[in-house]
Amino acid sequence: MNRDPIGIFDSGIGGLTVVKAVREILPGEDIIYLGDTARLPYGTKSTDAIMRFSIEDTQFLVDRGAKYVVIACYSAASVALDIVRERFPVPVIGVIQPGARRAMQMARTGKIGVIGTALTIYSGAYEKAFRDLGARVEILGKPCPLFVPLVEEGWLDHAVTRLVARDYLEPFVKDDIDTLLLGCTHYPLMMKVIKEIMGDINYVDASVEVGAELAQSLKDLKLANPGAAGSTAIYLTDLSVNFKEIGERFLGEPMKNFSRVSLKESH
Ligand code: DGL
C-alpha cells in the first residue's frame, strides 16, 4: 500500500499548486491529480452539488488505488470533507484546517481575514475550523469571486485586477486585520496585488501547510513511499483550449502526462 499513489482533486487546475507543494515535500510519492474542469467553478454552486461532485471525484481517485486523498479545492473542502471521510475507507485531508492552524500560530491581534469563493465563505468552514482549534479569534470573511477568472485570464499584475482587489480588500485595511488567509486555490497567484493593498501583514497560503501535514500523517500511518522519484499523472474532465497555459501557471513547470477522463455519476 505504501507504493500506492496519493490522490489529489480540485474543481479545476488551481489545485496544481497543492501538487507542486506536495512534490517538493514528498518527492518520492506518486501523485494522481483529478481536475473537474468540465464542471468548474465549484465556488458558485450549491453545497449539495459540491458534496455530490466531491464524492464522484474521490471515487475516481480511490478506484485508481489512492492510499490517501487530498481535497485541494477550498470550496469542496469547506462543504464535503466530512461526507467524503464517511464514505471512503482511506484517510482524507482538506485545505481548510491546515491553513487555519497556521493562521492561529501567526495572528497576534486575533483579527483574521479570510478570502475565498462564495461557497467557502458562506459555508462557515473557517469559523468551525477555528472553533475546533479552540481559538478565540475574530474572523472577517469576504468572498472575492472575480479573482478566479482574473487569474485564469493571466491578469495577475493588471490595472483591472488592482481595481477589483481594492474594492474587495479595502474593508480589511480599515478593520486592521493582522493575518489574511488565502482561502482559494487561485489567490496565491495574486499575492503581488494583494500585498500592495494589504501591506505588511501575515499571509497564509495553505498549500505548503497541507504538504507538511500530509507528510507527517503518511509517516504516522506508515504509508510513506520509500521510493526516490515519484510520478505525477494529471486527469481532467475537460480539456479546454487554454488548459495547458493555465495549468502551467499553477504548476510552475510544463504540464506533462495528462489525459481526459469521464467520471461515474454517484446517482
Ligand atoms: N478551486 C476553487 C477553490 O479553491 C476555485 C475555483 C472554483 O470556484 O471552482 O475554491
Output the pLDDT for position 249: 86
Q: What is the pLDDT of residues 207-233, one digit of tens each?
A: 889 999 999 999 999 999 988 889 999
Q: What is the pLDDT of residues 50-101, one digit of tens each?
A: 999 999 999 999 999 999 999 999 999 999 999 999 999 999 999 999 999 9
Say whether pLDDT at 264 is over 90: no
Among 6, 8, 16, 73, the one annotated catalytic: 73
CA of 245 relative to ligand 1 center, distance in Å: 18
Domain co-membership, 100 together with 30:
no
Domain co-membership, 77 together with 121:
no
**Residue 256 belongs to domain spanning:** 6-94+208-260
Domain co-membership, 198 together with 109:
yes
Cβ contact 209:105 at 8 Å: no
Angle (CA) 241 247 249, round 5°? 115
Distance CA 69, CA 95 (A): 11
For 74, the enclosing helix (H) or strand (E) is helix 74-87
Among 115, 139, 144, 184, the one annotated catalytic: 184
Query: Whose CA is closest to atom 6 on ligand 1?
Result: 41
Rounded mean pLDDT, 247-256: 87
Output the pLDDT for position 267: 65
Domain co-membership, 177 together with 247:
no
At 102, the amino acid letter reads R
Output the pLDDT for position 2: 87
Output the pLDDT for position 67: 97
Domain co-membership, 216 together with 171:
no
Query: Whose CA is closest to atom 8 on ligand 1?
Result: 43
User: Which protein residues are within 6 Å of ligand 1, measured from CB?
Assistant: 10-12, 14, 40-43, 73-75, 117, 120, 148, 184-186
What percent of the chain clears pLDDT 70, i.e. is strictly above it? 100
Cβ contact 250:14 at 8 Å: yes
What percent of the chain clears pLDDT 90, i.e. is strictly above it? 82
**Where is pLDDT greater, at 129 or 2?**
129
Q: What is the pLDDT of residues 173-197, one digit of tens each?
A: 888 899 999 999 999 999 999 999 9
Per the domain annotation, does 265 fall within a domain? Answer: no
Domain co-membership, 218 together with 197:
no
Residue 255's SS3 state is coil
**Domain holding 163: CATH number?**
3.40.50.1860
Per the domain annotation, does 186 fall within a domain? Answer: yes
- Range list of β-strands (E), 11-137: 31-35, 68-71, 92-94, 111-116
Residue at a domain's end among 163, 178, 206: 206
Per the domain annotation, does 267 fall within a domain? Answer: no
Query: Whose CA is closest to atom 7 on ligand 1?
Result: 41
pTM (2 d.p.): 0.96
Domain co-membership, 158 together with 225:
no
Q: How many CB atoms lie within 10 A of CB 175?
A: 12
Residue at a domain's end among 172, 188, 206: 206
Whether 73 is catalytic is yes
Cβ contact 112:181 at 8 Å: yes
Domain co-membership, 110 together with 187:
yes
Distance CA 124, CA 265 (A): 27
Output the pLDDT for position 252: 84
Distance CA 62, CA 81 (A): 15
Rounded mean pLDDT, 139-157: 95
The total of structural domains in the chain comes to: 2
Output the pLDDT for position 107: 85
Per the domain annotation, does 57 fall within a domain? Answer: yes
Mean residue pLDDT of the chain comes to 94
Domain co-membership, 86 together with 214:
yes
Q: What is the pLDDT of residues 107-125, one digit of tens each?
A: 888 899 999 999 999 999 9
Compute the radius of gyration of the chain from its Cα atoms.
18
Atom of ligand 1 nearest to the CA of 95: 4
CA of 185 relative to ligand 1 center, distance in Å: 6
Distance CA 28, CA 50 (A): 31
